[in-house]
Each structure stands twice: as C-alpha cells, then as structure tokens.
Structure 1
Amino acid sequence: MGAVQAAPIDDQFQTWLSADLWPDAKKAGVSKATFDAAFKGVEPNLKLPDLVLPGQKPETPTKQHQAEFRSPAAYFAPKTVDAVVNGGRSRLQSNARTLARIEKQSGVPGPVLLAVWGRESGFGAAKIPYDAFEVLSTKAFLSTRKEMFRAEVIAALQMLQSGRVTRADMRSSWAGALGQPQFMPTSFLKNAVDGDGDGHVDIWTSTPDVLASIANYLDHYGWQKGRDWGFEVNLPESVSCALEGPDRGKKFGEWAKLGITRANGRPFPKAEMNKEGFLMLPAGRSGPAFLVTPNFYVLKEYNESDLYALFIGHGADRIGGAKSGFAGTWQPVEGLMRSDVASLQRALSAKGYDTGGADGLPGFRTRRSIGEWQTAQGQPATCYPNAALVKAVR
C-alpha cells in the first residue's frame, strides 16, 4: 500500500470515526473526552490480516493466520505442549489456595485454568504488542467482520469510560484480545472479576484476577462441575467417523456398546455411562479419536476450534498428573490452503451436504460431510480433506 493510496484511507478512517462510530459510542454512554483520548493519534493499521480495502471484494483467505487453522500435528508439537504442561505444574502448588477457592466457587478445576492461562499468554510472559484501539477500530472499519469488531470497539470505549482501565492498559493481540486471559472487550465487561479482593479488576498483572476471570468465563458458558472434558478412545472401523459432532451425541454406555473403549485401558467413569458424550475427530481417521462431554464445547466458547479445546483438555490432564501424551498418532495431513477447503465445502454443499458454510476451515460438519460423501461413493471414510478429494468432489 503506497502513500498515494494510504492517505485517502486515513482520511476516510477519520471521517468514519467522527461521523459513524462516535454517534454510536455516545449512545453507549461514552463521553467525547473519552472518545477523543482513545483515538488520539490512532491510524488504521493496514498490515493486519483479514482486511477488505476500499474497492476490493472479500475473498476466502489463503493463509492460515491462526495456529488453530493449521495441521493438527503441528498444533500439538511437543515443545508447545510441554511449555504449558511444565509451566502449569510449576504453578499448581504456588497458586494452590487461589485455585481451590476459585474451583469451589465456579466448579472449574485448577489445571484447566492453568492450561488456558498458559496457552493464551504463556502465563503472562507473552508480549502483547498492539494498541487495542488501533486494532479494533481498523477491523471495525475494514475487516470482513465489521459488525463484530464494531461491538468490540464500543465495549473497549465503555471499559475506558468506566474507569476500570486506563488508556495505557489497552494493549492487545493482532485480533484485539486483551490481557493475560486474552479477553475481547465484550468478554471483559461480562466476565472479568476481582480475584484478589483489592476492589480492582486487573487481568494484566494480577494472577488471582486472571484465574478467577477465566473461571468466570467458563462458568458463564455452562461448565458442568464434576465432569471431565473428555477421553481419548479407540475407535473401531465399524463405527463411522461421520457420527462426529455435538448434535449426534449418545450416552457413554451406548458408545461403549458400539465397541469404543478408552485408549488408556481404563473403563469410562460409572457416573458418565448414562450421560451424553460426543465423538470428536479433529483429524478424521488421521489422528486420535475422542469422546467428549459438554465441557469440551464450553472450552470451545473460549476459542472456536476443536484443536484449541483439545489442547486445553489434554494440557489440563497432564498438568493434573497424567504422565503421557496421546495414545494415537497424528498422521501427516496435506497442508491445503483455506481457499482449497472452501472450494471443497462449496462442492459438498451443492450436493446437499451440510458443511457448516464455506469458511475454508475443516470443522466437524465438513469432516463428517466428507465421510458421508466417501461412504456414498463406496470409499473408506477418512473424514478429512486432501487435494485428491478437492478434485474428486468437484
């Protein structure tokens, strides 16, 4: 983007701030002084991903900007997992009283909170390099999800207006997430709490506030006390991978009758046998298989990714004392572009399969649609995309 092109966008951005965003901010209770302080010196950051510049049309991204969109094997690289597990274990005892109190209040186990904290910000060590108002306003002005980011920038202004944070506190990730729990501003307003009793909510530097806020978030989305997140299982060939998904649940006892067993050789807990569980295959037949509880989908509320929720659950198990990694192997999968997967999704949708949309991400609806199509063609169901499949379905 050259200077000749950038200048008009800067002008349009300033006009948008004053004529478009400010009226909504005013209606939301934000003063002009707060608004002006928030955007003093702020210009659109055109280097951020997922922007649609004036005159351009939205396209499915080809690159995977988030780790959650990449190969499952890469996501669970031992170095990454071990950093969270070892960091969590070292903090389990030093924060024992805080974690016990929070678990009593929320029902969320301490190892789960530590896994989220470690994954989101390296237990507070990760740098948070962006100005939140720069990121949020740029995305509200130019991104593919303008309305979502508009709500977030208004929430960020309300945070500032309330006096709960200072302008200097408003540092974020490239996606606009704040503090050590990496809350979006709307989540901060709903879920950030005072965990150390000092009368101030500080998700930037206070460990009790960070942990209590993560717990409050998960509790808000329905964490079921006393239930695990799920279990790695052995999936017989006789059980179709197309049975995956939160809308195709069965009682654990019913899954067991189909021949599914726990990968570690232990029986499923008796308390789970009459409760619903869900098949989850993040890499289709090319990786480990899992039966998960509703708590797995609560973890997905934190980050809408099967791999993320699985990382948290697995990391929590290891922090809590489990000694080994997955029993199953993450086999190599082809590194397709999101545009390739989107093409496959459109082709399957045209044939009547429910892929959940053409976003270029192989979620559970896409995975099981692949399995259903393969079965209809008389092929072994793998439930995961590859280049040959993209061509064949067309």
Structure 2
Amino acid sequence: MLAFAFLLIVIFGFILTTPTHAAPIDDQFQAWLQTDLWPEAKSKGISKKTFDAAFLGVKPNLKLPDLVMPGEKPTTPQKQHQAEFGPPADYFAEKIIRAVTSGGRSREGANARVLGLIEKRYGVPGEIVLAIWGRETGFGAAKMPYDAFEVLGTDAFMSTKKDFFRTEVLAALEIVERGLAPVNAMKSSWAGALGQPQFMPTSFLKHAVDFDGDGRPDIWNSTPDVLASIANYLVHYGWVRGRGWGTEVTVPANVSCSLEGPDQGKKISDWVAMGIRRVDGKAFAASELKAEGFLLMPAGRSGPAFVVTPNFYVIKQYNNSDLYGLFIGHAADRIAKGDTTFVGTWGAVGDLHRSDIAALQRALEAKGYDVGSADGLPGFKTRRSIGIWQAKNGKPATCFPDAGLVAQLK
C-alpha cells in the first residue's frame, strides 16, 4: 500500500509539473479555429465550406520560428532565421548574386516585350523587376514546401506577431473564397508568402494584376502577371519614375557614419560638398545633384558605402532589410551592365546572435539612444546610435555591433 501511495504521489507530481500546453496544443488550436477565427472569418464573408477546406487536417507547425507557446512570454531568439540578418559578405556571395544576374539576363530577352510594356505603364525598369523575381523564387523555380494555411494559422495562433498573421490568414481565406486560387494552390514559404513574387496574402489582394488578359491575376503560373504585379507593388509604395536606386561611394573619414538613414536626407550636391564621391570616378548627373539622396552604410565602416535614392526605400518595402534592398539594386545594375562587384569590401562582421545585439540595443536605449526596436537586428537606427555613442566616448566610430562593443555595453 505504501508503494502504491508513493506511485500515486509520483504520478500526481508528474501531472502537476508537466507543461499544460504539451499534450493539448492541437486541441487548443482547433478550439481557437472554431471559436475565435471562424466567427471573424464568417463576418468577413468567408463561407464555412471554404474555411473547413482550408483547415482540413491542419495542425500547428511547431517548427516555425518566433513562436510563443500558450501561457509563455516571448523572448528574443538567439539565432537568426533570415540570411539578411547574417554576415553581409555571405549575403553577397558571388555564386548567389550571379545566379540572379545571369538568370535575369537570360530572361530579359525572352520577356523583352512584356518588360517594355511594364516599364511604360509603371515606370519601373525591367532589371529591377527581374532582380526581385530572381531573388524571391529563382524565377519561379523554387518550390514552396508549406501549406499556407498551416503556416498562417500557426502564426496567427501563437507567433510573436499574432495580429499581423491573423490579418494575413483572413486574406488567404478571401483569396480562396473569391475563386482567385484553389486551396491546393495555396503553397507558401515558411513565412506564408505566396507565388513567384512571394506576396503575402494581403499584398496579393492589393497588388496582383492580370497583365496577360485572361481575366484573373495569376502569380503562380503567368509570367506577365508575375512581372507586372511586382512592378505594381513598387509603384504603390512610391517608385519614382526616371530615378535609379543609388550608387556606391567613398565616404571620407571626417564624414560620420552616423549620418545615414532615410530621415537624414540631403541634396546630393551637399553630400558631394562633404567630399563623398562615386567609386567609378564619374560625376553625379546634374539632375541628380538637385535631388535628395541618403547615406547608406549597411556594415558601418566595415563595408561599402552608398548614396541611395527614395527608390531604394521603395525596394525595402518588399523586404525590410538594407541588405535585401542593396542586393536588388546591385543585381539590377549587373543585369543591365554586366557583372561587376562592389569596390568596397565587407569586413568580418555580422556573426553575432540576435540575443547579443538585442542586449546591446537595450543598453543603448537605457542611455537614451533611439535604436528603433530592441529586436536583435542592426538596422540604421542601431548602427548610427552605435556611432554616436562611440564618438562621445572617444572611440573610433564604426557604426556596427561587434563582440567587444556588446561586452562593453551589456
């Protein structure tokens, strides 16, 4: 009897100490679908037939990044999940960018008529559109391995950005409800992006266009629709017809790297007056000298520098990463003019964990600096805050986080 009583105590103790979410997470997800998501979907005109077909057999995918188990608090992940957040030199590896540029050139001729019509209508150069197409899905060759409703449903249920993904999963249901795509075509990336342009569902509904004239926008199979939808997306976010994205420059040592950012624009003539020059030795066009430009130093003093136009920040609307925007602009230049590399070289930076950078950001915030967000991602506000802190403390301004700086500020 004593042994039996002891066994009951052990079992009862195990039940009390086992996380409550471990076994019933699938049940919690199904309950959330029916009692939380379905009522809102119904109110937005989604039929029960569409809803049930979309989530038939769907369970939460616990391998997706940035999830928060029910009852737990979110934490900054230690590792990066996207290439844009790693070392810049890796992001611009020649084999990666050459695949986009060579593929873009080979498709430029085959799609010349369509690209010409797109540029005439939208004002976006074909090379930019091709570079995005190539970067996103390898010109449509990349396979989308995920069920969009599994990804979007999981993230709406338990990610760190539940509200964002709730909007997206409702938009995905609308796509199916309106007959724009069947449920079995709704395959996505791990982030829930759809089709060859990798549009989130809300972006599909806003920006996808029927350019081939068959009556519906098809970003899965129609090359004209894919290319025109990318251009339409960029125009929506303010693409300026007739301007490029930017150019590589040299920045004198007496010009602070903390001057970068889209909120610190100057006339390009003012940057020139400060000693900034194009690396190719050419002068800026007279029309450009009167226009606004922005300093971009995505690796601080440990990498190439650029003067970019507002169009660079339009490209970033596609993927909010300076490295992504730079990759697209650089790849477009290479598609148009041939393969050339940056003159400046990338230093050995960018290999810190997100959690380390987040700790550095919180330390800077505590000192009154605006880092944008303590999210572990070294955006321009973090970079220039580092540069300002370094200068104030008598250190060379590098404007990029490194292990020594993390140790000093943590």
TM-score (norm 1): 0.98
Cα distance in 2, alignment partners of residues 147 and 243 from structure 1: 34
- Give SS of 2:293's match: strand
Cα distance in structure 1, aligned partners of 2:61 and 2:218: 27
DSSP 3-state at the match of 1:233: strand
Amino acid at match of 1:307: L
Match status 1:184 vs 2:200:
yes
**What is the CA-CA distance between 1:55 and the residue it aligns to?**
2.8
Structure 1 position 267 matched with structure 2 position 276: no
* Per-residue CA distance 1:184-218 (angstroms, 9 max, x = gap): 00000000001111112110111111000000000
**Residue in structure 1 matched with residue 148 of structure 2 by the alignment:** 132
The residue that corresponds to 1:308 in the other structure is 324
Deviations 1:243-277 (A, max 9, x none): 00000110000000000000111111211111110
The CA deviation at 1:151 is 0.1
* 3-state SS, counterpart of residue 320 of structure 1: helix
Aligned residues of 1:181 and 1:214 also touching (Cα < 8 A): yes
2:170 paired residue number? 154
Q: Radius of gyration: which is bigger? A: 2
1:289 lines up with 2:305 in the alignment: yes
Q: Does 1:194 align with 2:210?
A: yes
Alpha-carbon offset, residue 5 of structure 1:
5.5
**Aligned partners of 2:338, 2:247: CA distance in 1, in Å?**
12
Paired residue secondary structure (2:131)? helix
Paired AA for residue 295 in structure 1? N
Contact conserved, 1:334 with 1:387, CA < 8 A, in 2? Answer: no
Is the 8 Å Cα contact of residues 86 and 350 (structure 2) preserved in structure 1? no
CA distance in 2, matches of 1:256, 1:362: 27
Given residue 392 of structure 1, which amino acid in structure 2 is its aligned partner?
Q
Q: Which runs of 5+ in 1 are unaligned?
A: none
For 2:253, the equivalent position in structure 1 comes to: 237
What secondary structure, in the 3-state scheme, does the structure 1 residue paired with 2:337 have?
coil
Select which of 86, 92, 114 maps to 1:98. Answer: 114
Mapped partners of 1:316, 1:269: distance in 2: 19
Code of the residue aligned with 1:14 in structure 2: it is: Q
- Give unpaired runs (5+ residues) of structure 2: 1-17
Q: Does the residue aligned with 1:278 lie in a helix, a strand or coil?
A: strand
Task: Please state how far the C-alpha of 1:37 moved relative to its aligned partner.
Answer: 1.0
- Could you tell me how far apart the structure 2 residues matched to 1:294 and 1:391 are? 36
Q: Structure 2 counterpart of 1:312, which letter?
A: I
Alpha-carbon distance between aligned partners in 1 of 2:295 and 2:96, rounded to the nearest angstrom:
25
Cα pair 1:277 1:293 within 8 Å, conserved: yes
Shift of 1:313: 0.2
Alignment match of 1:347 (pick from 351, 363, 371): 363
1:297 partner amino acid: Y
d(CA) in 2 for partners of 1:44, 1:140? 10
Q: Output the amino acid matched with 1:197.
A: G
* Residue of structure 2 in register with 1:276 after alignment: 292
- Counterpart amino acid of 1:75? Y
Once the two structures are superposed, residues 12-61 of structure 1 have per-residue CA deviations (whole angstroms, 9 ceiling, x without a partner) of: 00000000001110111111111111111111111111100123210001
- Do residues 393 (structure 1) and 405 (structure 2) align? no
Q: Are 1:40 and 2:40 an aligned pair?
A: no
- Alignment match, 2:30: 14
SS in structure 2 opposite 1:168? helix
Contact 2:21–2:70 (Cα < 8 Å) also in 1: no
Q: Secondary structure at the match of 1:232?
A: strand
User: Which residue type is aligned with residue 278 of structure 1?
Assistant: F
Match of 1:214 in 2: 230
Q: Deviations over 1:121-159 (max 9, x none)?
A: 000011100000000000000100000000000000000
CA drift of 1:334 comes to: 5.0
Question: 1:364 — aligned with what?
Answer: 380
How much does 1:4 deviate? 9.3
Paired positions, count = 393
Q: SS of the counterpart of 2:307?
A: strand
Q: Which residue of 1 aligns with 2:46?
A: 30
1:323 Cα deviation from its structure 2 partner: 3.6
**Residues 294-322 of structure 1: CA distance to partner in whole angstroms, max 9, x if unpaired?**
00000000000000000000000000114
1:221·1:301 contact (CA, 8 Å) conserved in 2? yes
Distance 2:354 2:288 in 1: 37
Q: 1:49 aligns with which of 59, 62, 65?
A: 65
Residue 383 of structure 1 is matched in structure 2 by 399
Q: Which runs of 4+ in 1 moved over 3 A?
A: 2-7
- 1:226 corresponding residue in structure 2: 242
Query: 2:333: which partner in 1?
Result: 317
Q: Which moved more, 1:329-338 or 1:355-364?
A: 329-338
Q: Secondary structure at the match of 1:290?
A: strand
SS at match of 2:406: helix
Shift, 1:7, TM fit: 3.7
User: In structure 1, what is the Cα distance between the partners aligned to 2:203 and 2:393?
Assistant: 45
| Letter of the structure 1 residue corresponding to residue 48 of structure 2 | K
Residues 101-116 of structure 1: pairs in structure 2 closer than 5 A? 101-116=117-132
Residue 252 (structure 1) aligned with residue 251 (structure 2): no
One-letter amino acid matched to 2:122: S
